[in-house]
Amino acid sequence: WMSWVWSIVSAALVVRRSFAENVFKLFGSIKTSQFTDALAALGHTIDASFVKLTKVKDLGTFDAEIRLHRTVSVNVSFNVIAG
C-alpha cells in the first residue's frame, strides 16, 4: 500500500474553481467532495470522510490531510486554479 500512498502524495492535484476577478477570491470555498473528485480524476478513490481540509477560499497551493488509519495520515498538496 506504500506505492498507493506515494502515488497520491506525488500526484499533481488541481482543483478548478471560479473566482472574483479583481480580488482573486473564490466564490465559496473548496469542499472535500471537490478534492476527492479531483483525486478520482487521477484514478484514486477516497471517501470524503477521511479527508480533512482547512478553509480554502483563495487561489494557490494548499494541503489536505488524508487519514489512512486511526493513527496514520498523509498530507497531500493541491493547487486551486481559476477555471
Of 29, 37, 31, 30, nearest to 13 (Cα)? 37
Of 80, 82, 83, nearest to 15 (Cα)? 80
Is the pLDDT at 1 greater than 60, yes or no? no
* 43 φ/ψ angles, rounded to the nearest 5 degrees: 95, 15
pLDDT of residue 50: 94
**Nine cell digits for residue 12:** 499533481
- pLDDT range class, residue 2, cuts 50, 70, 90: low
E-strand ranges in the chain read 13-17, 19-20, 25-26, 51-53, 60-69, 72-82
- pLDDT range class, residue 6, cuts 50, 70, 90: low
Residues 35-76: tens digit of each pLDDT? 999 989 888 888 999 999 999 888 889 999 999 888 988 888
